[in-house]
Structure 1
Amino acid sequence: MNAALPLDGIKVLDLSTLLPGPLATLMLAEAGADVVKLERPGRGDEMRTYDPKFGEASANYAVLNRGKRAYGVDFKDPAQRDRVLELAAEADVVMEQFRPGVADRLGLGHDAVRAVNPDVVYCSITGYGPTGPHAQRAGHDLNYLAESGLLGVVTDSTGAPGLPVTVLADIAAGTYPAVVNILLALRQRDRTGEGTHLQVSMTHNLQVLGYGYFAAHQAGAGWPKPGAEQLTGGSPRYHVYPTSDGRHIACAALEQKFWERLVQLVGLDEKFHDDAGQEEDVVTALAARFAAETSDHWRSVLDGEDVCTVVVATFDEAADAGLVDVDAPERVSAPGGDASFATLPSPVSAALRRAPGTAPYPSLAELGDASPWA
């Protein structure tokens, strides 16, 4: 382990499941925190059941929970609930991801934990925030994107929005705000001795991803029109174009110098070089040029040129280009086994996280009377 990691000595009690909370506590663990994860007895975290499997649990679970310890607990059992409160009394951070009010009904809410641990940093991740008309609604990433307005700003030719490329709300509006706020709360506790109850609403935090739309609205320009704004399909300079072999070109030639070089390279008719006021016609003309040749042709034309325009890569191609790291020195193993694989590269800087090595994901153990903290 690296000397003097930033979170050495910090104890994290993780009551969360699936992705947002576990990914947040993984980042804390990478920076030196000691994470104890509590799951349902028997089956454990739902993420364990996903495919493909790696040992006794899923590969997804493995990469999100490397280096933690996990125990099966029935939160509804009063004796086991009291044992959880004993652990919470020792924790610096408690992470939960229930719907609002559920932790309170279980006797594990902020007030109950604060009563035994006044300076705890207690983080609640919810879909729609702790209060309001949507607070009790069930949801997943796609729902949060849909109801925040973001999903509908990019549409296809029929006006239908597409599926997002990944779980944006879970990670960008759940995990990352949770980590940032936990670190800020720990810093504040160092200075004041006071704990904090952090409320992380994934839907509300998505507004940060739509910062430009918000700024335009506040300046009087209105909310974005689907597929009509500069970054949502309304500009030929920021668009995805098909090629003749079923591949695609991602064009982001926003600046004039990039645009001028691009239209020369692709041989676009000069009457379309100035796209102002004729954006739809230029999109059509540029689409025709890209559709006339294969992706290999366009790669040979575009490579080495500063035009911010590239062939959309497959994961294999991205890995071959060194843009997807499948050989990181950090590895995860199955409990009790020799098999391991290079795990998810951590966004925590190498200078601030554990030394590279292999660590197992946790089997689901029985929570006894002994302290689970390392």
Structure 2
Amino acid sequence: MRASLDGVRVLDLTQIMAGPFATMLLADLGADVIKIEKPSGGDDSRRMGEILKGESAAFMTLNRNKRGIVLDLRSDDGKSILWKLIDTADVLVENFRPGTMDKLGFSYDAVHTRNPRLIYCSISGFGQTGPWRDRGGFDLVAQAMSGVLSVTGGPDSPAKVGVPISDLNAGLFASHAILAALYHREHSHQGQRIETSLLEAAMAYTIWESNEYWVTGHTPSRLGTAHRASAPYQVFQTSDGFIAIGAANQRTWEKLTEATLHPELKEDTRFVTNQDRMKNLPELINQLTHIFVKKSTDEWLDIMDTYGVPSGPVLTVPQVYEHPQVIARGMDLQTQHPTVGTVHTIGFPVKYSGTPPVLRHPGPILGQHTKEVLTELGLSSEDIKELEEKGVTTPNTGTAKAH
């Protein structure tokens, strides 16, 4: 079965999180993603997170379905090989600091002149323009500057979102933009430059908060797990854990009062409408907390399901992968790594009826496909050996096992 992006070649000059996530999404859809790493250790994420037999588990997921080569882009030989790859490519993705690609000789203008059909995507901390363009950006800094951190956590202290949302959003937006640019190229026959940043990727998700500020002039506050526009819509403690309750509209609120056997709350003047409930949110939370703590999470889940009130348990990560719904959706995939053996990776979040993603292999060992890719470019074994001796690239260290 043909994958969605069969025939599309992507040059991945990214590392850590945002860029690799963007190119992983493209690789999952069938693109031939060639990850280009520096000789001195490769992608820094190879040394981050849990390490299994010398390989980073996170790296193996973020770079699954990609081919990996080592190339010193500071050397003339390395630059020459990158130009050969550019001639064959549809997309180039980079997340260096703005100006770095220009200094290396691979500015958008230079690349566009060489290959006018190529989509050139840049991901940075703050964007390619503006007074902060030259500053390094990290997920935490973007969360802080986007306003996300200021509205996350309880009333007394801000909290970072538990996952690197700025990084992941930037990667998601980048892949989305690349697909749109590829579609446009089908009609125009021209590539283009697209760019996003961790800052903008995080800001794009402050829809409730930004509009609250624009409409009221007030600074949005931290509400813990509560919703900014609907109540009750938050997490409550039970006798043995926590439960998330999504009574996001009037009808569901009324069902909730029936499910909790407290129909009088429906008539309480403090809670009649959503506007009333938001205005009196502390009192509402107090009332419902006293109710929910009297039963277990499982008991409440059964009750809420009976009455049609959206609810769910607060699961730990191990509990997530044990949940029957997650199992049914195939969100824990396994594949074989040449040195680690069987490894787990997060399943595909989108299901396709006609062009489903395929898990072909985990992230490559450093330099794993160098010889393969360079041979495709027409280099001989002697040429490749000479590049290895010069330190422009490194010998292959393994062969992926497809699964």
Fold conserved (TM > 0.5)? yes
2:74–2:104 Cα contact (<8 Å) kept:
yes
Q: Identify the range of structure 1 (184-193 vs 109-118) with the bigger mean alpha-carbon deviation.
A: 109-118
Equivalent position of 2:260 in the other structure = 266
Flag the 1:186–1:278 CA change in 2: closer, same or farther, 3 A: closer
Aligned residue for 1:359, secondary structure, equals: coil
2:42–2:366 Cα contact (<8 Å) kept:
yes
1:175 matched to 2:202? The reply is no
1:264 CA displacement: 2.9
1:371 matched to 2:376? The reply is yes
Equivalent position of 2:113 in the other structure = 115
Distance 1:186 1:35 in 2: 15
1:18–1:47 Cα contact (<8 Å) kept:
yes
Equivalent position of 2:33 in the other structure = 35
Distance 2:206 2:312 in 1: 24
1:300 CA displacement: 4.1
Equivalent position of 1:298 in the other structure = 300
2:336–2:343 Cα contact (<8 Å) kept:
yes
Flag the 1:328–1:372 CA change in 2: closer, same or farther, 3 A: farther
Correspondence 1:1-374 to 2 at 5 A: 2-3=1-2, 5-158=3-156, 160-172=157-169, 174-218=170-214, 220-227=215-222, 232=227, 236-245=231-240, 247-268=241-262, 270=264, 273=268, 274-275=270-271, 276=276, 277-325=279-327, 331-335=334-338, 339-351=341-353, 353=355, 356=358, 358-365=360-367, 367=370, 369-371=374-376
Distance 1:304 1:231 in 2: 24
Identity %: 29
Q: Identify the range of structure 1 (162-171 vs 354-363) with the bigger mean alpha-carbon deviation.
A: 354-363
Distance 1:40 1:78 in 2: 14
1:315–1:324 Cα contact (<8 Å) kept:
no
Flag the 1:61–1:353 CA change in 2: closer, same or farther, 3 A: farther
Aligned residue for 1:142, secondary structure, equals: helix
1:231 CA displacement: 5.2
Q: Identify the range of structure 1 (258-267 vs 98-107) with the bigger mean alpha-carbon deviation.
A: 258-267
Flag the 1:36–1:228 CA change in 2: closer, same or farther, 3 A: closer
Distance 2:196 2:60 in 1: 25
1:269 CA displacement: 7.8
1:89–1:113 Cα contact (<8 Å) kept:
no
Distance 1:7 1:188 in 2: 15
Flag the 1:357–1:228 CA change in 2: closer, same or farther, 3 A: closer
1:327 CA displacement: 5.2
CA RMSD of aligned residues (A): 2.8
1:111 CA displacement: 2.2
Using structure 1 for the length normalisation, give the TM-score: 0.87
2:337–2:343 Cα contact (<8 Å) kept:
no
Flag the 1:129–1:223 CA change in 2: closer, same or farther, 3 A: farther
Distance 1:51 1:372 in 2: 34
Aligned length: 366
1:68 CA displacement: 1.4
Amino acid at match of 2:186: D
Amino acid at match of 2:326: V
1:45 CA displacement: 0.9
1:98 CA displacement: 0.8
Aligned residue for 2:376, secondary structure, equals: coil
Distance 1:289 1:141 in 2: 38
Aligned residue for 1:108, secondary structure, equals: coil
Aligned residue for 2:97, secondary structure, equals: coil
1:227–1:233 Cα contact (<8 Å) kept:
no
Distance 1:360 1:283 in 2: 46
2:239–2:292 Cα contact (<8 Å) kept:
yes
1:170 CA displacement: 1.4
1:252–1:308 Cα contact (<8 Å) kept:
yes
The runs of 5 or more residues in structure 1 that have no matched partner are none
1:268–1:285 Cα contact (<8 Å) kept:
no
1:161 CA displacement: 1.7
1:175 CA displacement: 1.4
1:359 CA displacement: 2.1
Amino acid at match of 1:126: S
Distance 1:355 1:126 in 2: 28
Q: Deviations over 1:295-317 (max 9, x none)?
A: 34433433433112333223343
Q: Identify the range of structure 1 (328-337 vs 252-261) with the bigger mean alpha-carbon deviation.
A: 328-337
Distance 1:356 1:187 in 2: 22
Flag the 1:230–1:193 CA change in 2: closer, same or farther, 3 A: same
1:342 CA displacement: 4.5
Amino acid at match of 1:197: R
Q: Identify the range of structure 1 (25-34 vs 53-62) with the bigger mean alpha-carbon deviation.
A: 53-62
Q: Deviations over 1:22-61 (max 9, x none)?
A: 1221221222211111112141111212242344421111
